[in-house]
């Protein structure tokens, strides 16, 4: 039994020695220098070497709008299904889908039936009631009619006036008109259809002005103001300009974003509802320079920057932030107002290194 323990102990010691043998004699792993340390080493090693030739250009900063860019869509201002308010048969529908209508244009016309005759009858009753009332006043002055009787005649006049008003309104409702300038999106009745109150006649969409609808984060919402200028880049390439008309006060519970609406004139109805749009809202004026993306470099933390030259032709590194993209370059902030940007050879130099610079025209 004792020998068994001794054997087991010996085997365990042998295994431990074998596992440790792989680590014995190995040199320690050298730590890799950071990018900043590597640049410093390279700069020191190149101090005694011939200066590197680079090309540079002086770029002056100019005032530019800082912009907030949002994803959104176009949306018509309002939609309405115009409905019948009375009963009758459709005898005229002068509009079709896609037609433009103005306020007061006829959408549907119902048969007159006895509406005109009923109105004439009510008007005659009103005329008679007024004559009776005038006569009752004369009789009261002669003490031939009591106040109660005069009041009854006056009540008949009021009832007759109300009857005329109801029949006039019913006659007017037989003609269904457009309540605002709009585009006819759909029609729901045909000539000969019989409709009751509440039956749909025509669907209208108000296309002018058009709205650009988006969502702004809680971090950026304080930069916006109602009445501020904004623009939209549509999916089809068109650019439109408008005014911020609404900024929500309550955030979406799921996204923590606030709704924003930009009002854009659309008098010719050329903008359609539902088009994907990039909404751009200027927020502040900053000093910025336009550079080529080719001059960008990354620092030790992976941040974008630009290599420049100081008055001693020493290389400097400046972190920058992209303001916006243009067709021929990128607007950035973070450079000195007058910056000598290395345009060719920036990948061959490091901060602190002295170079020979050939200057390009501004």
Give the 3-state secondary structure of the chain.
Answer: CHHHHHHHHHHHHHHHHHHHHCCCCCCCCCCCCCHHHHHHHHHHHCCCCCCEEEEEEEEECEEEEEEEEEEEEEEEEEEEEEECCCCEEEEECCCCCCCEECCCCEEEEECCCCHHHHHHHHHHHHHHHHHHHHHHHHHHHCCCCCHHHHHHHHHHHHHHHHHHHHHHHHHHHCEEECCCCEEEEEECCCCCCEECCCCEEEEEEEEEEEEEEEEEECCCHHHCCCCCEEEEEECCCCEEEEEEEEECCCCCCCCCEEEEEEEECCCCCCCCCCCEEEEEEEEEEEEEEEECHHHEEECCCCCEEEEEECCCCEEEEEECEEEEEECCEEEEECCCCEEEEEEECHHHCCCCCEEEEEECCC
Environment class of residue 218 by beta-carbon count within 10 Å: exposed (0-12), middle (13-18) or buried (19+)?
exposed
Q: Residues in the chain with pLDDT < 50?
A: 1
In the prediction, which pLDDT does 272 show?
93
The contacts of residue 58 (CB under 8 Å, 6+ apart) are: 338, 339, 340, 341, 359, 362
Burial 98-119 (b: 16+ CB within 10 A, else e): eeebeeeeebbbbeeeebeebb
Backbone angles phi, psi at 297, to 5 degrees: -140, 160
Beta-bridge mates of residue 105: none
In the prediction, which pLDDT does 14 show?
60
Torsion of CA 109, 110, 115, 116, to 10 degrees: 40
The predicted-structure confidence for 133-147, as pLDDT tens digits, reads as follows 888 887 777 777 788
The predicted-structure confidence for 236-283, as pLDDT tens digits, reads as follows 889 999 999 999 999 988 989 999 999 999 999 999 999 999 999 988
In the prediction, which pLDDT does 37 show?
60
State the Cα–Cα distance between residues 42 and 46, nearest whole angstrom.
6
CATH architecture label of 68-77+208-284: Beta Barrel (2.40)
Could you give the percent of the chain with pLDDT greater than 90? 53
In the prediction, which pLDDT does 1 show?
46
CATH architecture label of 37-61+292-359: Beta Barrel (2.40)
């Amino acid at each position: 039994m004792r020998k068994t323990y001794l054997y087991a102990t010996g085997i365990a010691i042998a295994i431990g020695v074998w596992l440790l043998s792989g680590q014995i004699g190995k040199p320690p792993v050298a730590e890799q220098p950071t990018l900043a340390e590597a640049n410093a080493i390279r700069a020191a090693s190149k101090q005694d070497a011939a200066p590197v030739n680079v090309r540079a250009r002086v770029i002056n900063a100019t005032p530019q709008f800082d912009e907030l860019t949002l994803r959104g869509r176009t949306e018509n201002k309002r939609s309405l299904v115009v409905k019948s308010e009375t009963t009758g048969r459709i005898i005229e529908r002068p509009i079709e889908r896609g037609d433009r209508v103005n306020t007061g244009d006829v959408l549907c016309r119902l048969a007159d039936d006895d509406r005109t005759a009923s109105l004439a009858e009510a008007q005659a009753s009103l005329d008679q009631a007024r004559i009776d009332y005038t006569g009752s006043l004369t009789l009261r002055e002669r003490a031939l009619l009591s106040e109660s009787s005069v009041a009854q005649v006056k009540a008949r006049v009021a009832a007759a006036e109300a009857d005329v008003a109801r029949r006039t309104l019913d006659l007017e409702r037989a003609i269904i008109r457009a309540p605002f300038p709009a585009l006819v999106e759909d029609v729901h009745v045909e000539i000969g259809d019989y409709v009751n109150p509440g039956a749909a006649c025509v669907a209208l969409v108000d296309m002018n002005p058009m709205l650009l609808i988006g969502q702004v984060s809680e971090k950026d919402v304080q930069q916006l103001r109602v009445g501020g200028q904004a623009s939209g880049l549509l999916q089809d390439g068109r650019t439109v300009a408008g005014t911020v008309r609404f900024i929500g006060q309550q955030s979406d519970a799921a996204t923590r974003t606030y709704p924003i609406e930009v009002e854009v004139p659309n008098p010719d109805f050329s903008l359609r509802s539902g088009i994907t749009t990039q909404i751009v809202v200027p927020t502040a004026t900053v000093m910025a320079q336009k550079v080529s993306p080719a001059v960008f470099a990354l620092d030790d933390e992976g941040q974008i920057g630009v290599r420049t030259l100081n008055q001693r032709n020493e290389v400097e590194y400046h972190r920058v932030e992209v303001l916006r993209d243009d067709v021929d370059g990128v607007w950035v902030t973070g450079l000195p107002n007058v910056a000598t940007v290395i345009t060719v050879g920036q990948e061959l130099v490091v901060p602190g290194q002295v170079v020979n610079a050939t200057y390009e025209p501004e």
